[in-house]
Amino acid sequence: MAAAGVGNPAGAVPIYDGGNPRIVGGLARNAIISGGVFCFASGAASVVSSGANSVVLGDLLFAGDASGTQFNGICMQTTAVSGAVAVATRGAFLLVCNGTVVPGEKVKCDGENSVQPLGSTADVVAKGPSLAIGRALTQGASGGYALIDIHG
């Protein structure tokens, strides 16, 4: 298992983007976010209105070490404190495994920038739609890597 906050030491390693990469821009929320770290949106309420012209880069604030249902994507490059960030919400990435990951099965993020299998059938039925961040394309053992197709 990787140390907390590290994830893949090579950073974000995209393998496939499905021909249509999904990158969302914003700012790191009062911190440095390393490339490859799992991110979640962490912004203020009521910053946009009904018009597209009301949306600016600073409206979208991202924090690192996403866990549970708070996963929006993967940071693509290391940021400065409160610097610009690009978050991939779709694509296939080489990610660290925490537990045995099986190809074709749904995975969740564990708060330490690695993925875990969703677990029992009951767990998948009860929590699968909200916890799943994607599906495994290859197998991976704990501390190793698997190719994961994320769907943000």
Which residues does 145 contact at the CB level (< 8 Å), separation at least 6?
8, 94, 95, 96, 97
pLDDT of residue 3: 43
Condensed to tens digits (0 to 9), the pLDDT of residues 90-147 reads 999 999 999 999 999 999 999 899 999 987 666 566 665 678 999 999 999 999 999 9
Interval 31-50: pLDDT, tens: 999 999 999 998 777 788 88
Rounded Cα distance, 30 and 12, in Å: 21
Q: 131, exposed or middle or buried, with CB in 10 Å at 0-12, 13-18, 19+?
A: buried
pTM of the model: 0.83
